[in-house]
Chains A and B, each alone.
Chain A
Amino acid sequence: MTDNPRETRVLEAVVSLVDSLLDDFDVVDLLTELTERCAELLDIEAAGFLLADPLHRLRLLAATSEEARELEFFQLQADEGPCVDCYATGQPVSVADIRGATERWPRFVPAAAEAGFASVHAVPMRAAGIVLGALGLFGSHAGELTEADLLVGQTLTHIACVAILQERPPTPSTVMPQLRAALTSRVIVEQAKGFLHHMLEVSVEEAFHLLRTYARDSGEHLTDVARKLMTDRYSRPMLVAELADLAAARPH
C-alpha cells in the first residue's frame, strides 16, 4: 500500500467512498471508513467523526482508535476543543502545536497531550447551509496539516455527507430526520458491541471488528446485523454462533 504514490491512494479512497453512493451502504460503516481513510492518508495518527443531533448536541459516530474516541468524548463533555469550535463556526480548525493552545482550550489541551497527541485539526461537514458535524484529526507530532491534506480531509468528508443525504437533495427539513436515523444506527451498533462483549467475552473494540467483518462477508448492513442481534430473538442464536465462529477464526 505504502509503495503506491499518495495520489493513487487518495483516489482509491475517493473511489471507495463514491462507490458507496452507487450502492446500498451502512452509514456507521461508511463513516468509520471515512475516519480510517483519513488516518491512513493524512499526516495524522487518529481520527474521529462527530455528528450533531436535532437538539444540536454533537455525538460521536466513528473513531479510528480508543484514544481518538476518548478525546472526542472529552471534547463533548468539556464543551471545548477543535471539533467543538469547528462545529460552532463551520470553519476548519488547524492547530500545529497544541502547547500553544492552552488558553483557548484549557481542559482539552492537557487531555490531548495525555492521550499522546501533539497537533489537532478539524474539518466541518456541511449541507443546506447548516453545519452537520465535524471530523477531528489528531497527530502524534507537532506540525501543520498541509493545504493538500486539509483538502483531502474536506473532500472525503463532503463525499460522506453526500452519501448520508443521497436520498433527496438536502433541505433543512430532510437533513434532520436523516441525521437522526444515522445516530439511531450508532446507538444500536453500540448496543450490539456490548451484547457481544458479554456473549463472546471479547473487548468492545473486537466486538465492533467482528460485527463489521460479519456484515461485509454476508453483504448485510452493519446496522441491520446489529439490529437483528438486539431485537430479533429468532435470528439471534444462529447469528451469535456465526459471530463466535468468526471470533475463533481471528488471530489474537
Chain B
Amino acid sequence: MATHEQLIAAIDGLRGMDAADRLCEACVVLLDIDAAAISLVFDGANSGTLGSSGAPARIYDELQFTLGEGPCLDSVLRRIPILIVDLADPAEARWPAYRPAMLAHQIRGVYAIPVVVAGEFVGALDLFRARPGPLLATDLAGAVAAAELAAIPVLDLLDGDLHAAVTDPNSDAWAELNRLTRAEVSQAIGMLVAQLEVEPALALILLRAHAYATGRSVTDIARDILDRRLKLEAD
C-alpha cells in the first residue's frame, strides 16, 4: 500500500483529536522521523497543539508557542514548507530561542508543512528527528499527504461547538475531504464571506455545521447557497 493510502487507513473512522493523534503516530511509523505533531496557528485563542505522536512530540511542538517563534509558525505565516536539515548548524540563525531549546531535547531535524483549510493557512504538521539531514523525497511526499489529510481533524477542532462530526459514526474524514475540495464548495464559501463578513475558514465551518444539522451533504448545501435558495446566518 502506498504511504498516502496507509495514512488514510490510519484515520479511518476517527475524527477530531483522535484522528490528529493517529495521523501523527502513522507519520512516525511510515516516515523516517522520531516524533510528529499537528498544531493550529489560527488566531491567538485557538493556537496550540492539536495532536501528537506522544508526550515528547507535544513538548517539542508547544515550545514554539511558549517561545513565540519556530518553523511551524513561519511555515503558516509564509505559506510554505519549512525544512530544517540541521538545527546544530551554526549558520542556522533563524530562531535564537527555539534553536537551543530544541537542541537541548536532542532534536536536529525539524520539518514543518502547512495545513490549509478553505484556502487559509491555519496550522502545520511538524515532524521532528534526532538525526540531521533532509527528508527522503518519498517521505516528504508522504508528509505533504499527511498535512493534506490533517485538514479534517483541524477543521473538526476549529469548530468548538460542533460535536456532530466527531460523534457521527458515519462521518468519514476521507469522504468529507473529497467533498470539501469541490469547486462549488469553494464558491459557496466565497458567497458566505461576502454575505456574513466572516473569514473563509469560518464560512466553511458554518456550511459544514448546516450540513450536519440538516443531514445533507456539503455539496448540496453549497449548490443551494450558490443558487440563492438558502441563506445561512452567522451566529
Chain A residues within CB distance 8 Å of chain B: 53-57, 59-60, 69, 73, 171-173, 176-177, 180-181, 184, 186-188, 190-199, 204, 227, 230-231, 233
Contacts and interface: CB of A to CB of B under 8 A. Distances in A.
A198 B4 contact: no
A233 B194 CA distance: 11
A191 B200 contact: yes
B81 A191 contact: no
A73 B183 CA distance: 9
6 nearest CB pairs, A to B: A194-B190, A190-B186, A194-B187, A191-B190, A195-B190, A198-B194
14 contacts: A54-B148, A55-B8, A177-B113, A180-B116, A184-B116, A187-B119, A188-B186, A190-B183, A191-B118, A194-B191, A195-B190, A204-B226, A230-B190, A231-B199
B140 interface: yes
Nearest to B81: A177
Given A172-B138, A191-B119, A204-B226, A198 B190 contact: yes
Contacts of B183: 60, 69, 73, 190
A177 B115 CA distance: 12
A193 B200 contact: no
Contacts of B80: 177, 181
Given A191-B119, A194-B189, A204-B226, A180 B148 contact: yes
Q: Which applies to chain A's interface (DSSP): helix, strand, loop or mixed?
A: helix
Contacts of A197: 187, 190-191, 226
Given A173-B140, A194-B187, A194-B194, 4 more contacts: A69-B183, A176-B144, A190-B183, A197-B190
A54 B145 contact: yes
Contacts, number: 105
B166 to A, nearest CB: 22
A199 B194 contact: yes
A188 B190 CA distance: 8
Contacts of B186: 186-188, 190-191, 194
Contacts of A173: 135, 137, 140-141
A60 B80 CA distance: 22
B148 A53 contact: yes
A192 B226 CA distance: 13
B195 interface: yes
A192 B4 CA distance: 30
A133 B162 CA distance: 36
B181 interface: yes
A73 B219 CA distance: 13
Contacts of B76: none
Nearest to B139: A173
A199 B81 CA distance: 34
